[in-house]
């Protein structure tokens, strides 16, 4: 236990330590813990193997003491040197009768006591007798005198800080955001369909424009063909005239020859 105490100190001054955890360090008695720990408010000695509280130091500011899962059967009077004690856990020990608990009457600030898994809890009207013995006690073995279960520290913090309402508010905001997102998605689908329809209309108009252009092209081709036909006809007529011109000199020559011959 002494080595564990030195380890938990972490080079701090003894009179500045307010919390000390010595759980599972094996020892049958208190060793190494002295009256110098005047600022200590919380001490935990769970599953250490203690059989006695002899040598328990004077701790004037101690408020919380964990002694569960040891082998303590008596000697609770050694704790009276810590008059500010408010929370005491003695569950899982060897306390057999209520007489052993009599020294706890000295604690005028004790509000929480746990004796679960001790033989003393089997005594008739055990709870009623303990609450009568310790009038300042609010909770015994996790329940008050009306058998109402004590709230956990986390639940108390949530209520004090209003976390429950905050969570509801957050969930409500999330629902609103989800609805907004769904509306936006719906709007997005409508806008996409509109855009898609507009694109289809534009594509159709383009196809129609190309069809009209094709008809114009056919008209132009027919005009070109007509022009080519006219040109060919004119060329043919010119060629015919040329041929006729060529034939006329031949006939005149023939006639001239005839005249010469006649003469």
Sheet (strand 112-114) strand order: 19-21, 42-44, 64-66, 87-89, 112-114, 139-140
Q: How many Å apart are CA 16 and CA 37, to the nearest integer? A: 8
**pLDDT value at position 144?**
94
Q: Which CATH superfamily is domain 1-144 in?
A: Ribonuclease Inhibitor (3.80.10.10)
**pLDDT value at position 151?**
76
Q: Phi and psi of 195, rounded to 5°? A: -60, -40
Query: Which residue from 111, 117, 106 is spatially nearest to 76, judged by alpha carbons?
Result: 106
Q: How many Å apart are CA 199 and CA 140, to the nearest integer? A: 78
Asked if 20 and 2 count as a contact pair (C-beta separation under 8 A), the reply is no
Q: How many Å apart are CA 101 and CA 97, to the nearest integer? A: 8
**pLDDT value at position 194?**
56
Query: Which string of DSSP letters, residue by residue, matches 197-222?
Result: HHHHHHHHHHHHHHHHHHHHHHHHHH
Query: Which residue from 29, 54, 57, 55 is spatially nearest to 43, judged by alpha carbons?
Result: 57
pLDDT per residue as tens digits for the range 141-161: 999 999 898 776 555 455 445
Domain ranges of the chain: 1-144
pLDDT per residue as tens digits for the range 26-78: 999 999 999 999 999 999 999 999 999 999 999 999 999 999 999 999 999 99
């Amino acid at each position: 236990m002494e080595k564990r105490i030195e380890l938990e100190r972490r080079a701090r001054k003894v009179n500045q330590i307010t919390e000390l955890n010595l759980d599972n360090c094996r020892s049958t008695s208190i060793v190494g813990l002295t009256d110098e720990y005047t600022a200590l408010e919380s001490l935990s000695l769970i599953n250490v193997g203690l059989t006695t509280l002899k040598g328990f130091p004077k701790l004037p500011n101690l408020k919380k003491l964990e002694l569960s899962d040891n082998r303590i059967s008596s000697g609770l009077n050694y704790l009276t040197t810590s008059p500010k004690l408010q929370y005491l856990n003695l569950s899982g020990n060897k306390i057999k009768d209520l007489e052993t608990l009599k020294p706890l009457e000295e604690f005028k600030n004790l509000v929480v006591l746990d004796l679960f898994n001790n033989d003393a809890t089997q005594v008739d009207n055990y709870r009623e007798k303990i609450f009568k013995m310790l009038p300042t006690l609010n909770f015994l073995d996790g329940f008050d005198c009306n058998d109402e279960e004590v709230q956990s520290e986390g639940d108390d913090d949530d209520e004090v800080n209003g976390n429950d309402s905050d969570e509801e508010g957050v969930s409500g905001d999330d629902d609103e955001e989800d609805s907004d997102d769904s509306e936006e998605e719906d709007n997005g689908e409508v806008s996409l369909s509109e855009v898609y329809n507009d694109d289809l209309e534009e594509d159709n108009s383009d196809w129609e424009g190309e069809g009209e252009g094709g008809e114009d092209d056919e008209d132009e081709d027919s005009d070109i063909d007509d022009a080519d036909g006219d040109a060919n006809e004119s060329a043919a007529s010119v060629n015919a005239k040329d041929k006729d011109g060529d034939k006329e000199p031949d006939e005149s020559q023939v006639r001239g020859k005839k005249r010469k011959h006649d003469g």
